[in-house]
């Protein structure tokens, strides 16, 4: 029942007061009473308008924040670029439908529109939980949009409708009709876009600083806020979704959720060692205890891994050969080269720490710049990163700008390795940033830049051209042997890790023959330390064709991100078909899925029924399979060529 309207009590003449003696007194008293009435009316109007605009603004901001959290929740499954690619279209459509159809929605619903909002918000985490399990069915191109169409879209529609209903009570009679009519919608959208943009940066920066600032927890907090704004008895229908979040949703960053998730992953031969959310994404460490290796993931992508079954001598045996090949920076012959114990190295991007661990083991004074504190923590805790180094947990662009003068010509070696799964930071490949690195490099120094790219896209050529425009002498290598033309035509991609070794002086780059000490008692380094697959410049587009990447022209590279990210997602799903965020915690389904995984000791790579490859075979070439069967030399371990080319 609506509260009764309170009639303001105006002060009238006292009963015992004498009536006005003159006409003038009578007029003055009437004016006083009229003024009191006007003041009371204006006060009520002002309070009403403040309430209208305050409630509408709160709902606009709340919807904008939820839209941000929604896209952040998708990124661990689909990656940041794929999650963002169609996100705005879902939001814009929802805003339009909700704003234009608020009257129709009000007539159709048997309850107030705003009371529906908490129900939708509280059910979204449960819907996402099951929709993520279908990510391989939906695919990376439209999977994020399908997921948000079934979760975020209804929330935005109803939110926009509620905002329109609230602003119907706004008094714009003082404005011309040509302005008053579009003003509420236009201003609401401006506030929405501003809130969406500003809060996104804050959410990313604060992600993972507490359990309440993780993706799923934020969704639940926002749902609780919706519940406060739309209180009603309908909230009892949200009890199943609340119970699901508390006891069944393994996406929550709680110890009990991790334990529950592991009970399913163990059936597939995996164990989740640790996980947390951070400013670059969802970071997790997983063990394949059946096959004897450990990997670190950021969202859907792999940051690196090492074999655990062979133990650790000086350094671990890496599962990716590219990280051992980056260590060949020490083998580049340059005039005036200093011994390792006098050298200084800068490593940009940590991953699991394969390359910096080797540099430190060689006695090189190493500075590591890593933007993600969780990546650094996990590399130290679970991958044996040595402690005797300088760690900088900061954005390398701002760090390099602040230290440009003090670190002028300071480093003998610079390792630039920042790939994050199809979403490499564009700013770290501009001519401005690379000139900053050139400024820090000694005249006799060497830099190596790892760029995971697709030879069929212009982005790789743009990056290489930019590097060669800054550094006069370069040699380019790819991690694996180039695929055949038929293979490229069939798959539509030629994706590989590309290493560009450069110096500041104009002379031919050559590698000295490795000594026994260079291998650090590692058999995989003995096999892969020296890069073998050189890329001729003829395989890339020229500067005249694609240009270079300047700081004010980053869209030149960014526009190819979508395609590269989508292809990389397909590659990663070939690499690791089982991912912890896809698991719906159905043990029966997990057993069925595990039954389809080929043994690591099989005679050759085996396809799954889903068309994806075993999580074991991404690491193991036929030669490595033969090694595992015979328990022979781990030097046969892996280049990750099958990761990028596919296995038939």
The residue-averaged pLDDT of 510-516 equals 96
Confidence check: pLDDT of 634 > 90: no
Confidence check: pLDDT of 640 > 80: no
Kindly report each contact of residues 42-48 with a partner whose C-beta sits within 8 Å and lies 24 or more positions away, as own/partner: 44/8, 45/171, 48/169
Looking at residue 332, what DSSP letter applies? B
> Percent of the chain beyond pLDDT 90?
59
Do both 583 and 536 map to the same domain? no
* Residue 463 host element (H or E): helix 458-470
Which pair of structure tokens corresponds to residue 478?
């790819």
> Percent of the chain beyond pLDDT 70?
81
299 by Cβ neighbours in 10 Å (0-12 / 13-18 / 19+) ranks as buried
Count the Cβ atoms, other than its own, within 10 Å of residue 320.
Answer: 26
Number of domains in the chain: 3
Per-chain mean pLDDT for the chain: 84
Do both 237 and 165 map to the same domain? yes
Do both 544 and 579 map to the same domain? no
**362 lies in some domain:** yes
Do both 517 and 589 map to the same domain? no
The CA-atom distances, in angstroms, between 41 and each of 36, 53, 384, 449 are 9, 18, 72, 70
The residue-averaged pLDDT of 222-230 equals 94
Among 448, 416, 445, 472, CA closest to 334: 445
CA distance 268 to 246: 25
pLDDT tens-digit series, residues 304-352 = 999 999 888 899 999 988 889 999 999 999 999 999 999 999 999 999 9
**261 lies in some domain:** no
Top-confidence residue, 575 or 600: 575
Whether 244 contacts 129, CB under 8 Å:
yes
* Residue 283 host element (H or E): strand 281-288
**508 lies in some domain:** yes
The residue-averaged pLDDT of 193-221 equals 95
Whether 129 contacts 243, CB under 8 Å:
no
Do both 204 and 93 map to the same domain? yes
Count the Cβ atoms, other than its own, within 10 Å of residue 246.
Answer: 13
Q: Which of 547, 573, 599 marks a domain boundary?
A: 573
* CATH number of the CATH domain containing 501: 3.40.50.150
Whether 300 contacts 309, CB under 8 Å:
no
Do both 380 and 448 map to the same domain? yes
Whether 125 contacts 241, CB under 8 Å:
yes
Using DSSP bridges, classify how beta strands 281-288 and 293-298 pair: parallel, antiparallel or unpaired.
antiparallel
Q: Which of 234, 253, 272 marks a domain boundary?
A: 253
CA distance 548 to 467: 9
Do both 552 and 582 map to the same domain? no
Handedness of CA 489, 490, 492, 497 (dihedral sign): negative
Is residue 349 left, alpha or beta, with left meaning phi > 0 and alpha meaning psi from -120 to 50? Answer: left
pLDDT tens-digit series, residues 406-422 = 999 999 999 999 975 55
pLDDT of residue 373: 97
How many alpha carbons fall within 13 Å on the CB side of residue 198? Answer: 8
Q: What torsion, rounded to 10 degrees, do the Cα atoms 469, 470, 476, 479 define?
A: -120
Confidence check: pLDDT of 449 > 80: yes
* Chain-centre distance for alpha carbon 46: 44
pLDDT tens-digit series, residues 70-123 = 999 999 999 888 999 999 999 999 999 999 999 999 999 999 999 999 999 999
* Residue 447 host element (H or E): strand 441-454
**96 lies in some domain:** yes
**284 lies in some domain:** no
Top-confidence residue, 606 or 31: 31
**347 lies in some domain:** yes
440 pLDDT band, cuts 50/70/90, is: very high
As a whole number of Å, the CA-based R_g of the chain is: 31
Confidence check: pLDDT of 2 > 50: no
581: containing domain: 574-645
pLDDT of residue 49: 86
**486 lies in some domain:** yes
Among 131, 150, 119, CA closest to 240: 119
Do both 232 and 207 map to the same domain? yes
CA distance 525 to 518: 8
**1 lies in some domain:** no
Whether 420 contacts 456, CB under 8 Å:
no
Task: List alpha helices for 139-182, DSSP H.
Answer: 143-150, 152-167, 177-180
Do both 465 and 355 map to the same domain? yes
Confidence check: pLDDT of 600 > 80: no
Helix axis angle for 152-167 and 183-206, nearest 10°, is 140
Do both 363 and 447 map to the same domain? yes
CA distance 94 to 105: 13
CA distance 260 to 250: 7
Question: Residues for the chain: how many in total?
Answer: 648
Do both 563 and 607 map to the same domain? no
pLDDT of residue 335: 92
Lowest mean pLDDT among 479-488, 586-595, 635-644: 635-644
Count the Cβ atoms, other than its own, within 10 Å of residue 610.
Answer: 12
* Chain-centre distance for alpha carbon 38: 56
pLDDT tens-digit series, residues 159-174 = 999 999 999 988 888 8
Q: What is the pTM of this model?
A: 0.83
Using DSSP bridges, classify how beta strands 495-503 and 473-478 pair: parallel, antiparallel or unpaired.
antiparallel
CA distance 228 to 222: 10
Do both 516 and 593 map to the same domain? no
Q: Which of 253, 281, 315 marks a domain boundary?
A: 253
């Amino acid at each position: 029942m609506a509260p009764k309207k309170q009639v303001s009590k105006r002060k009238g003449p006292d009963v015992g007061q004498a009536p006005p003696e003159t006409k003038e007194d009578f007029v003055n008293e009437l004016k006083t009473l009229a003024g009191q009435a006007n003041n009371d009316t204006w006060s009520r109007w002002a309070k009403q308008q403040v309430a209208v605009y305050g409630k509408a603004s709160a709902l606009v901001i709340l919807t904008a924040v939820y839209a941000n959290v929604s896209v952040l929740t998708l990124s661990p499954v689909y990656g940041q670029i794929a999650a963002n690619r169609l996100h705005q279209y879902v939001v814009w459509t929802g805003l339009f439908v909700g704003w234009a159809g608020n009257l129709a929605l009000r007539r159709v619903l048997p309850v107030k529109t705003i009371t529906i909002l908490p129900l939708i918000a509280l059910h979204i985490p449960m819907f996402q939980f099951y929709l993520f399990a279908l990510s391989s069915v939906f695919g990376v191109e439209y999977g994020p949009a399908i997921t948000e169409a079934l979760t975020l879209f209804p929330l935005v529609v109803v939110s926009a409708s509620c905002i329109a209903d609230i602003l119907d009570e706004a008094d714009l009679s003082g404005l011309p009709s040509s302005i008053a009519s579009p003003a509420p919608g236009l201003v609401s959208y401006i506030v929405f876009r501003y809130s969406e943009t500003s809060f996104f940066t804050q959410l990313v920066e604060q992600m993972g600083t507490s359990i309440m600032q993780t993706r799923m927890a934020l969704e639940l907090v926002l749902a609780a806020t919706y519940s406060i704004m739309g209180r009603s008895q309908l909230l009892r229908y949200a009890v199943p979704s609340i119970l699901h979040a508390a006891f069944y949703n393994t996406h929550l960053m709680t110890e009990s959720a991790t334990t529950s998730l592991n009970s399913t992953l163990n059936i597939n031969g995996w164990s989740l060692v640790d996980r947390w959310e951070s400013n670059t994404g969802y970071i997790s460490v997983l063990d394949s205890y059946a096959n004897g290796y450990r990997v670190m993931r950021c969202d859907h992508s792999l940051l690196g891994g090492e074999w655990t079954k062979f133990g650790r001598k000086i350094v671990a045996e890496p599962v990716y050969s590219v990280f051992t090949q980056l260590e060949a920076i020490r083998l580049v012959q340059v005039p005036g080269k200093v011994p390792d114990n006098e050298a200084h190295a800068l490593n940009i991007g940590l991953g699991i720490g394969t390359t910096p661990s080797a540099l430190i083991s060689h006695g090189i004074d190493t500075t590591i710049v890593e933007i993600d504190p969780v990546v650094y923590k996990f590399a130290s805790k679970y991958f044996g990163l040595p402690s005797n180094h300088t760690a900088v947990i900061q954005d390398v662009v701002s760090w390099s700008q602040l230290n440009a003068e003090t670190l002028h010509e300071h480093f003998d070696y610079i390792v630039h390795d920042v790939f994050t799964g199809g979403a490499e930071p564009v700013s770290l490949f501009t001519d401005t940033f690379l000139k900053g690195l050139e400024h820090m490099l000694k005249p006799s120094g060497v830099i190596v830049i790892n760029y995971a790219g697709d030879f069929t896209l212009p982005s790789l050529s743009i990056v290489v051209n930019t590097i060669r425009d800054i550094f006069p002498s370069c040699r380019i290598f790819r991690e694996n042997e180039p695929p055949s033309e038929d293979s490229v035509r069939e798959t539509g991609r030629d994706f590989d890790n590309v290493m560009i070794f450069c110096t500041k002086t104009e002379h031919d780059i050559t590698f000295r023959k490795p000594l026994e000490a260079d291998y650090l008692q590692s058999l995989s380094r003995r096999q892969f330390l020296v890069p073998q697959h050189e890329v001729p410049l003829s395989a890339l587009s020229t500067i005249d064709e694609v240009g270079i990447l300047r700081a004010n022209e980053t869209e030149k590279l960014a526009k190819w991100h979508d395609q590269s990210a989508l292809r990389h997602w397909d590659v990663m799903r070939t690499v690791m078909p089982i991912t912890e965020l896809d698991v719906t915690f159905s043990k029966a389904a997990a057993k069925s899925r595990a039954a389809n995984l080929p043994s690591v000791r099989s005679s050759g790579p085996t396809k799954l029924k889903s068309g994806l490859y075993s999580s074991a075979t991404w690491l193991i070439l036929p030669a490595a399979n033969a090694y595992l069967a015979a328990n022979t030399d781990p030097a046969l371990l892996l280049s990750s060529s099958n990761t990028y080319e596919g296995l038939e």
